[in-house]
Structure 1
Amino acid sequence: MKTILIPTDFSETATHAARYGLYLAHHLKADLQLIHAFKVPAEARAAAQSAWPLDDYEQVKHDSETELDKLRHQLELVNIATTSARDYISRISCTAEMGDVTTMTRNLVDHFRSPLVVMGMSGAGQLHRLLLGSNSRELIDKATFPVMLIPNRPSTYQLRKIAFATDLSSSDIELIHSLVSLARPFSAEILIAHVTDAKYDPAAHQHLVDRFLSEVTSKANYNKIYYRHIKSIDVDHGLDWLSEHGLIDMLAMVHRPHPVFEQLLKGSHTQRLAKHIDIPLLVFPPDAHDVCF
């Protein structure tokens, strides 16, 4: 059985992410694994000559497990209220471990062979943050699995149209095929979005598009795939416009080591985007293949 991982820091945003993960799990017939990574308190780290007392460790672990149980109970109530006898009832489990979010998540993805990690776009204020902080940037940089980032308050719990941002690279074709396995249970449309500036050759561009779409059609057996060309001053602003005005419920893209993606995830635009984006962002690793949701 498939298991979706939900890292949480018990913030409001993380709770929204968990509820969205449950929504996905119902349709994908998957279970949920709530995970929390707790850390050694700063005062204990400062006392390098002494080990962290076992009693303190047990107390922090107990507190973490208590909070996870509360979140699990909330989700189980939603589980009961939103499913019928014919629906798949997702099983919800919890894991709390000492360490960092990235290492814990990667280990559990391997353990459960999870197809997806779902987490919040922002964390708990002065506590460690999941996105726009070092933890989620590190996770995305090192992930060999898809990571879905959920805004503080998703505008909808419907998945009718997914936009996939592409530069028409041949490696994207297999990812679109993988995206079909996410879209199909929802009967969602997949919008292939290619952003260019005004300085492009229409004839050469159309040739690339035709070849790309021909390969997509032969690879992905799904009749709800469409294409849209978006002209903008740059890719950054084009994706911003698409997330706001494209009438989409999710934006998917590939984390490639190029300046545009680095700016989107790490630069100042991310801070601006996070203030108004209200749709999930699905991030594929650059070497992803044979992903099946």
Structure 2
Amino acid sequence: MKTILIPIDLSSRSYHTAHFGLELAHQLGGSVLLLHVVHPSPSAPSLSIPMVEMDSDSRKSSSYDQLTTDLQHFEDELNDYRREAGMLDVKISSRMVVGQPVEAILEVAHSEHPAFVVMGTVGASNAWDKMVGSVSSAVAQEVRRPLWILPNATRLNTLRKFAYFAELAGSEVSCIDQVLDLGEKLRARVNVVHVSPVEEEDFLEAEAITEMFEVSYAAKRITFQNLMFDTVADGIETYVKLHWPDAVVLAHRDWGMVARLFHRSAIRQLALTTRRPLLILQKQN
């Protein structure tokens, strides 16, 4: 059974994220795993404490009792939503761990191998956020599972136009197939967009590749488009502003250091500032 991993902080925003994850699990015939990470100390260094399950001493504390109550209340409300929405086929479970949020989420994503991770995001609001980014954007740079980042309340059935910004390199066919498969389940149209920087001479090569893709995917609800801008980031931002896709899709892979840092910065910027759902896929070289 496919698992949808949903990290939550028990805030009102988490309910929106959990509702989307529940709808996704229902669509895929899967289950939901809620993950709440308890920060060990506000002053603890970000990489000093590994993720651990709650020990027996922690379970005896009043703070643990309150956290357990809050988590159970969250799960109860999500179960109410599940019943009202007619999604009783979706199993909901929860887990609470102690650790740094980013490291804990990555560890659980690695061990549980979920079909998708679903997270919310908050824009950079102070100097610390601007320096290191939100938890969502940090997870986006390292996670090895498909990741949804939701900027606000989003209903899965409202996603009718996907824009996948493709490099036309690496395991591109696999990524296109993933987006297309999800699009078909949601009855959504997919547009694959490649942005060529002006200073690079790959536009004609990209045109030839997309022509081959157009032939291969002729029977599918998918289109292909090549654009030329000063930078890839400029092209993505301009396209999104002009065409207003319901969801933006990116893929990242391990590659050369300079290129990787550039691509990660683009992902981080979109994760922090996008006003529409962002799906990030892992691409093989």
Shorter-chain TM-score above 0.5: yes
| Alignment match, 1:99 | 99
Q: Aligned pair 1:61/2:58, yes or no? A: no
| Alignment match, 2:176 | 176
| Cα distance change, pair 44–7 in 1 and its aligned pair in 2 (3 A) | closer
| Alignment match, 2:248 | 251
Q: Aligned pair 1:224/2:206, yes or no? A: no
| Alignment: residue pair count | 268
8 Å CA contact retained: 1:13, 1:151: no
8 Å CA contact retained: 2:192, 2:224: yes
**Pairwise CA distance, 1:125:** 7.4
**Pairwise CA distance, 1:12:** 3.4
**Pairwise CA distance, 1:91:** 1.6
**Pairwise CA distance, 1:164:** 0.9
Q: Aligned pair 1:207/2:208, yes or no? A: yes
Q: 3-state SS of the aligned residue for 1:73?
A: helix
* Whole-angstrom CA distance in 1 between matches of 2:212 and 2:223: 14
Residue by residue over 1:223-250, the C-alpha shift from the partner in whole angstroms, topping out at 9 and shown as x without a partner, is 1121122333321122122333324211
| Alignment match, 2:194 | 194
| Cα distance change, pair 124–61 in 1 and its aligned pair in 2 (3 A) | farther
Q: How does 1:152-163 map to 2 (within 5 A)?
A: 152-154=152-154, 157-163=157-163
Q: 3-state SS of the aligned residue for 1:62?
A: helix
| Alignment match, 1:35 | 35
**Pairwise CA distance, 1:156:** 7.2
Unpaired segments ≥5 residues, structure 1: 46-51, 289-293
* Whole-angstrom CA distance in 1 between matches of 2:42 and 2:25: 37
| Cα distance change, pair 234–40 in 1 and its aligned pair in 2 (3 A) | same
Give the TM-score, by structure 2 length: 0.78
Residue by residue over 1:136-191, the C-alpha shift from the partner in whole angstroms, topping out at 9 and shown as x without a partner, is 34423332111110113448751212111112114211111122332222122111
| Cα distance change, pair 286–35 in 1 and its aligned pair in 2 (3 A) | same
* Whole-angstrom CA distance in 2 between matches of 1:202 and 1:255: 21
CA RMSD of aligned residues (A): 3.5
Counterpart pick for 1:239 among 223, 236, 241: 236
| 1:252 partner letter | V
- Aligned sequence identity (%): 23
Q: How does 1:111-122 map to 2 (within 5 A)?
A: 111-122=111-122
**Pairwise CA distance, 1:78:** 1.9
Structure 1 runs (4+) deviating above 6 angstroms are 123-126
**Pairwise CA distance, 1:210:** 1.9
| 2:223 partner letter | Y
* Whole-angstrom CA distance in 1 between matches of 2:113 and 2:232: 33
**Pairwise CA distance, 1:134:** 5.8
8 Å CA contact retained: 1:32, 1:90: yes
* Whole-angstrom CA distance in 1 between matches of 2:179 and 2:267: 21
| Cα distance change, pair 138–81 in 1 and its aligned pair in 2 (3 A) | same
Q: 3-state SS of the aligned residue for 1:80?
A: helix
**Pairwise CA distance, 1:122:** 1.9
Residue by residue over 1:18-72, the C-alpha shift from the partner in whole angstroms, topping out at 9 and shown as x without a partner, is 1211221221122111101102234799xxxxxx993687333333322222222
Residue by residue over 1:92-116, the C-alpha shift from the partner in whole angstroms, topping out at 9 and shown as x without a partner, is 1111011123343334334433111
Q: Aligned pair 1:150/2:150, yes or no? A: yes
